[in-house]
Structure 1
């Protein structure tokens, strides 16, 4: 960014004062006394600067800072659009104008048979999109594949961002699977309530206590699902979920791994620099050695990439 640019970050939701603070820290001016506490707090919330151990501020690299700002703006816009879509009733209006087979969901039979995995995923996306108060889910297998996590993450995070209460029951097998536990703790860190059942679970998804999905064949969920809005049946499923919930255990706290000082420095560098070569050079470390540390840390954090590892480490207080 050019030093003389005036509020070049305004389009990303950054005020003049916040940008002046970021530029000052970029120029190695660690004295933040001239900036108001509110400005410092907001810059930390935006993620464009981080606290140092000495209490000062350290900037994210411009590339990382802009990525964080874009992510923040996209999330805000997405939430606004989703709220506008819900309040406007645009989906109901469009459905009402379609052919009889494409009528609004509320006009369909009380129990529908949804065939095929892709069709089920589409229905899940639809019913969770309109959830307003509560989302209840069980997973009788307990282990989530990489594909399942990839499909579920945007849906789950969308629900949590809207303030919908999420309660999820997992089979005990999740405790032995690192990627699954990493994802569950990610959700828990964002407000989801998650328990682990020592007993067999019945698979179900319930939204707002008014609509529920259960498998056609519990032994072969790929066949499809039954979608019901029958109040009596949904109420029975909610009662079953509550009994399973009461008989389950809280998600165990993550055990903090023993990190060496070098590994902590590597984590800090992942958060601040863009390239392994830069991080290795700053730590006076061979590139191959640096990458070995990065690989181990990514595995510990259940991260798919370096940027995700750095964010998860910061969320967990490792750096």
Structure 2
């Protein structure tokens, strides 16, 4: 349906004052005919005459009132249908209503939008680093900006690699100003969003198309403790510390890579866990090998273990 337009308002008012309007003038405002505000002049096809406002309003309200009546009737029928089951439902003890499976990006975003709209105190988020598209950036701004405007505190955890992601840096810059805090840490596994200690969202599938909406108090308390544990060990986004070399010439991110190498992870797995591409991961491994004087991958693992750098970490 065509939306009401400012040009339509002007022309309809002019037609009411003059009693008619030239057909060619009305072509600039399709909403006039869409809302049936004009009808052909029976005496001259080049002119249109205005429909009285009261008549036009009645015509527009009629279908809406009919739809409202039909929906009210449906609501009554649904209530009557479920009435016999309500008493039975109170006899069942279950936590299934505190865990909701959300399938599909549209449904997930709708649930997130509702939760953030109801958030009044604080929102905690864990966001493993990836490239933020312009669309997701704008969607995040639309969701988070109203939170800040009404005084909600936002704390977000990224991986250290977010420091080289211009989209995420731009997003943080748009929302900071003391009301939102951003920190980075070497390794994050999955996304997490918590609103007001009341509802949390976690992914249920790797493709991000299925999520769980959690409202169980015990689960939410556990997730908040996990977030605080990570937050205390993270570094504010405004500092350069994670990529500065320590006294041993090895950066914090290289310490993280060394730990995963000793655990036996391959390059692809290390890159995925640290939120970087494989090429960048291998560049860090090469620098680590140079710093420790390693000539081979097998020797590198041995030298890491012998150097004691993992004991120095944290």
Query: Larger radius of gyration, structure 1 or 2?
Result: 2
So what's the TM-score if we normalise by structure 2? Answer: 0.45
